[in-house]
Amino acid sequence: MIIRIKDQRELDHMRASADLVGRTLGAVARVLEPGVTTAALDRVAERFVRAHDAEPAFKGYSISGLKPFPGTLCVSVNDVVVHGIPGGYALQEGDVVSIDCGVRLNGYYGDSAYTFGLGAIGTQARALCQATYEALHLGIKAAQPGNRVGDIGHAVQRRCAGFGVVRELAGHGIGTRLHEEPQVPNVGVPGRGKRLRSGVTICIEPMINLGTHRVATSADGWTVRTADGARSAHYEHMVAIGDGGPEILTTFDYIEDVVEPPFTATYG
Ligand code: MG
Ligand code: MG
């Protein structure tokens, strides 16, 4: 499979898609509080995306043999790592809530995720969120033209030593398809893997657990949980590799204008 290089026109489309994902997550952040159901968050996101002439990217997304994903968001609470299906669960004080959103606008995809803490989540979960958030930004810093995918994975893995770094799922290229080449694992060996060139667009998305790195998929075919029931965090940015270095296409600003990060940021 080939890694598609984007030209300036395509990058402009991707900046727009990325910005819309950020704004959608900001709209969701505004209504995030104990008592709200994950289905209600999903409705807010879907309405917002459609009001901006875009389509939800995850809704109807299907991988071989699975029934299509039903939501605009993946809402993954506590021990759910990713791909949580929005439903009747009402969020509670102390929940660690990862929200992943994808859109398609003018033929180009946007994809970003943020982990929220609902009130007091405890020092361990705060450390988990902080490590994951910092690992994302260290991974981005490693996404220099001429570097390789293994440099990103190594940077993420190194920051998350002591936590469980999920291996079964990875970041990915993005563009006119939600998932393109190359795969961007969260573990890696420096100097190994596909080369990052100017015009490559990827999603970097560490998925990090408080306990074991092992995960299990639920009977619904989508929901990925930690194998030991420990909590998990997930942050995701879309990045374009440029001649001068990585450009972060998505933004958490719309989120962090409304809610405090679930830790005291020291990096990012
Ligand atoms: Mg995502
Ligand atoms: Mg992604």
Q: Measured in angstroms, how far is the CA atom of residue 82 from the centroid of ligand 1? A: 9
pLDDT at 168: 96
CB 133 within 8 A of CB 260: no
For residue 265, being part of any structural domain is answered with: no
Q: How many domains does the chain have?
A: 1
CB-based neighbours (< 5 A) of ligand 2, an ion: 111, 203
For residue 215, being part of any structural domain is answered with: yes
Q: Minimum-distance ligand to the CA of 201?
A: 2
CB 156 within 8 A of CB 150: no
Q: Measured in angstroms, how far is the CA atom of residue 111 from the centroid of ligand 1? A: 5
Half-sphere exposure of 262 (CA within 13 A, CB side): 30
For residue 149, being part of any structural domain is answered with: yes
For residue 267, being part of any structural domain is answered with: no
- Report residue 236 as tokens: 């995701």
Q: Measured in angstroms, how far is the CA atom of residue 129 from the centroid of ligand 1? A: 16
Q: Measured in angstroms, how far is the CA atom of residue 116 from the centroid of ligand 1? A: 15
For residue 97, being part of any structural domain is answered with: yes
| Residues of the domain holding 163 | 8-256
User: Does the global pTM surpass 0.85?
Assistant: yes
For residue 20, being part of any structural domain is answered with: yes
Residue among 236, 233, 265, 251 at smallest CA distance from 132 = 233
For residue 23, being part of any structural domain is answered with: yes
Q: Measured in angstroms, how far is the CA atom of residue 237 from the centroid of ligand 1? A: 8
- Report residue 227 as tokens: 């194998």
Could you tell me the CATH number of the domain that includes residue 225? 3.90.230.10
Helix (H) or strand (E) holding 153: helix 149-159
Q: Minimum-distance ligand to the CA of 234?
A: 1
Rounded CA gap, 183 and 194, in Å? 9
Q: Measured in angstroms, how far is the CA atom of residue 172 from the centroid of ligand 2? A: 6
Q: Measured in angstroms, how far is the CA atom of residue 79 from the centroid of ligand 1? A: 17
Q: Minimum-distance ligand to the CA of 173?
A: 2
For residue 231, being part of any structural domain is answered with: yes
Residue type, 85: I
pLDDT in tens, the chain (268 residues): 799 999 999 999 999 999 999 999 999 999 999 999 999 999 999 999 999 999 999 999 988 778 899 999 999 999 999 999 999 999 999 999 999 999 999 999 999 999 999 999 999 999 999 999 999 999 999 999 999 999 999 999 999 999 999 999 999 999 999 999 999 999 999 999 999 999 999 999 999 999 999 999 999 999 999 999 999 999 999 999 999 999 999 999 999 999 999 998 665 5
